[in-house]
Structure formats: structure tokens, C-alpha cells
Structure 1
């Protein structure tokens, strides 16, 4: 935890914003330093993510590409996104990939935002099934799910930051 706790403020902010592109979240996590342990940091980050308003969740969504689309650029965030979506983007079943594109479109038409899912370790088929299921949700239910998915992604990315600092 020493490396995380001693990061210069500007580096810390950039690192946290790459994990979750919500300044309020990054500021809340940064304000808790020094953290006595990894568990304490992750708990604080989880709590901060649970406190995000819907507008802040939408701000975080703006940094995520569509499932199956390759994140462009050489930023840490783009690299993480490519890694997280590697199974979804790299699947070989053209039918499933095509259906996933259609499900993404249907989701965007219905909810007016990108379909966000914690994709790490999930197959294209699992992601497609989740997208189809979530199309049946009402707005309130879907907002709760989206906020949870954003939180899970942020925590995974924060874990990766910590792994890289050890």
C-alpha cells in the first residue's frame, strides 16, 4: 500500500480516472489516503462507487466502448477495456457477434446509452444472453444494474493498479 499511498496527487488522479472516469469517485478514493491495507482501499472505493448519482454513472459510461468494439488509443483505460472485452471482441462465431451488434443497437435505442456489462471472463454467448435479458428491464432496474456493473469494472481496474504497484 506504500506505493499507492505515496503516488503524487496528479498521478493518483489520472490513475483513478482511468479506473473509473468519474471525478467525484476519484476524489473520494484519493481523499481516503493513506490506506492501511488493500482491503481498506477497495472497501472505500466500493463505497464511493455506491454513492454515485445517476449523472455521475453516465459520466463513467462515456469512457466505455460498445461491447465487441475495440477501444482505441494507447491509454491505460483503453488497454484495460481491450483486455476486459477480449473474449467478446475476439469470438469466432459470426452469428453470435452479429446478434451482439444487434442487441447493442436495441439496447441503445431502448435506453439511450451504451450497454455496459462486466465482461471479464464472459463469453460472447453469455454477454448476448445478458443483453437480451436486460432489454426487458424498466429504466429504474436497468440504472441499478448499470451502476453495479460500472462499480465492478472500477474495482477490477483498481485491483490491477495495485497489482502493478507491488
Structure 2
């Protein structure tokens, strides 16, 4: 039977601080899927409190090179796009879990990220077909214009608001939009760091 690192099963800041560098980085990839981000935030441990970790995570996101931001964006699903299985189960390539944080590896981090994305985009679930069609069309236009997925911190937002913001952002030039993307990615990352530690409100 394989030996399991007990620290990897301990939620909370103390458990996170006690992880190996590789385990901490694996967990952080669920918060922001940039390897540079995960390496920097893990290397700054130990953290005294969640606020300090959240601030370090946000600073790391804002300091990423654009290719590193693109790496993180590649892990985010399109807003309004349903799971390939209709939402009944995870794709075979992604293991999702509702268990407390365990920081068990890159595959588990991917499972947490997918689960969190579904919850963050829950405002889409009640949307009418016209809004869903608008999001699909807007996503295509956005990706053609900017070359990456439309990213927004969707927690607590209705689908219509996500669509309105998408249409507004299509008017941005590339430099302005990159700044908006960094801000949204930083907001998402701060929220996910709390989830990672099991301290979500």
C-alpha cells in the first residue's frame, strides 16, 4: 500500500505550510494554473495567516509575464459552456472531488479547479437560451479578438451581467484588456486560496 503524506491531508494554513514544495505547488495550481505563480507562492512559506497568503498570491499573479498569464488562462473553461457530459460527472481526464483540501497532486488540483469553476459560474445555470447564445457568440468574438478565453470573476454574478461585461470588454484595446484580465485573475486567485485552505466563507 502506498505511503501517504499526512500533511497533505491536513486542511488549513498549518497543513499548507507543512507541505513539501512540490505538494504546495500542486495545490496552488488549482488557484492559478501558472507554474511560475505556484513556485513563487510556495517558496514564500510559511505564511502567518490567510490574509498574508492571499496578498502574496495576488502580488504573484500581478507580477506574471504575459505567457505565464496565458498558461493560467488555458485552464479556465469558457463562461457559459456546459460540461461535456452535461454536468452529471467529470470528464474521464479530470478527477473532481468534494473532499476537504488534500493537496494530493496535479491531477487532484485539476479536479478542484474544475469543480470550483462550475460553482463560480453557477449564475449561468438559470440563464435563458438567448443569454446562453449571446455568451457563446461573445466567447467566439472575444477569442478571435484577443486570442484567449474570456475571463471574469463570476462568483455571485448572473449570466446576463457576465454577458454585458463581455460585450463591454470587446471594445477594449489589447493593452487595456490585458490589465483587466490580470485584475480578474487576481480576484479569482484570492478567492481560491481561501477555498484551498478550507476557509471559504
TM-score (norm 1): 0.93
Separation in structure 1 between the aligned mates of residue 114 and residue 54 of structure 2, nearest angstrom: 22
Cα distance in 2 for partners of 1:154, 1:70 equals: 22
1:26 corresponds in structure 2 to: 38
Q: Take 1:92 and 1:50, find their aligned partners in 2: how far apart are those partners?
A: 32
Match of 1:99 in 2: 134
Q: For residues 112 and 12 of structure 1, what CA distance do their matches in structure 2 show?
A: 30
Aligned residue for 1:78? Answer: 114
| 2:143 aligned residue | 108
Q: Aligned to 1:56, what secondary structure does the other structure show? A: helix
C-alpha RMSD over aligned residues: 1.5
Q: Does 2:192 correspond to 1:157?
A: yes
Gaps of 5+ in 1: none
> What does residue 152 of structure 2 align with?
117
Q: 1:10: how far off?
A: 2.8
Count of paired positions: 164
Deviations 1:57-77 (A, max 9, x none): 111000011001235432111
Gap regions ≥5 residues in structure 2: 1-12, 84-90, 97-110
Bigger share in helix? 1
TM-score (norm 2): 0.77
| Alpha carbons 1:134, 1:142 under 8 Å: kept | yes
1:141 paired to 2:176: yes
SS of equivalent residue, structure 1 residue 91 = coil
